[in-house]
Amino acid sequence: VKALIERGAETSCQDKSKLTPAHYAAAHGHEEVLRLLWSKGTDLDAESPGGQSPLHLAAAAGQADCVRFLVNNGSWADCFDAQDCTPLHLAARNGHADAIDALLALKAAVSPASKLGLTPVAEALLGGHESCAEILAVAQHESLRALARRCRPQGFSLLHAACGLDRPHVAALLVQLGLEAGDVAGATESTPLHAAAAANSPGCARVLLAA
């Protein structure tokens, strides 16, 4: 990378996806490359068409060292993409505890909501990452059970969402956390079983019928 830059390579060039070298370095955990790009005045907050910065990609890939480097050198820990997801949302969605810990230590907001109404703890739960959800619950000084029950993206419970996504293991976890199989929501007054049926999810249906 250093040799290319010395030969005049543009450090903020974009590929067809509008991603810069900083996006790639962050996503792959190459902190030294990020440091070199930063030393050459590269914009480390360049956004993709979806509004994602290198920090988003570092968090999504669990690259905690890159997360720390970017925030410590000016990137906003709570930057949001086109869906209003912050780096903490993406780290939680993908189950990266180290990146979650790094962001929390860097004072990232713990419970911002995306356009879908999902908080980082909801993202962790829907991804089946219970340990990550617990980290976030502790940071909010609340029980995971209370947070899971209170989160209702677009008026539906997380159990509706899990069944609609055909995620039986997540549905089982949410039932254990006290979410109700008979929860009625939305203008159609649908239950999680309706969502499971629409998603052709016999696994979720079995979880609900056994609850």
* Structural contact between residues 87 and 47, judged by C-beta atoms closer than 8 angstroms: no
- Of 151, 166, 199, which closes a domain? 151
Tens of pLDDT, residue by residue over 104-159, are 999 999 999 999 999 999 999 999 999 999 999 999 999 999 999 999 999 999 99
What domain count does the chain have?
Answer: 2
Across-strand partners of 198? none
Does the pLDDT at position 4 exceed 90?
A: no
Q: Give pLDDT, residue 12.
A: 79
89 lies in the same domain as 143: yes
157 lies in the same domain as 208: yes
100 lies in the same domain as 25: yes
98 lies in the same domain as 139: yes
Tens of pLDDT, residue by residue over 10-39, are 777 888 999 999 999 999 999 999 999 999
188 lies in the same domain as 163: yes
89 lies in the same domain as 191: no
61 lies in the same domain as 121: yes
Please name which of 97, 98, 145, 148 lies closest in space to residue 119, comparing C-alpha atoms. Answer: 148
183 vs 164, 190, 197, CA distance in Å?
14, 8, 15
Q: Give pLDDT, residue 2.
A: 73
Collapse the DSSP code of 185 into the 3-class scheme (helix H, G, I; strand E, B; otherwise coil) and give the result.
strand
Q: Give pLDDT, residue 163.
A: 98
Does the pLDDT at position 78 exceed 90?
A: yes
121 lies in the same domain as 174: no
Q: Across all residues in the chain, what is the average pLDDT?
A: 95
Q: Give pLDDT, residue 1.
A: 75
Tens of pLDDT, residue by residue over 166-210, are 999 999 999 999 999 999 998 899 999 999 999 999 999 999 999
- Domain span at residue 81 reads 2-151
Phi and psi of 84, rounded to 5°? 65, 25
23 lies in the same domain as 126: yes
63 lies in the same domain as 106: yes
CATH code for the domain of 27: 1.25.40.20
Q: Give pLDDT, residue 13.
A: 87
105 lies in the same domain as 191: no
Overall pTM > 0.75? yes
Please name which of 100, 103, 84, 87 lies closest in space to residue 27, comparing C-alpha atoms. Answer: 87
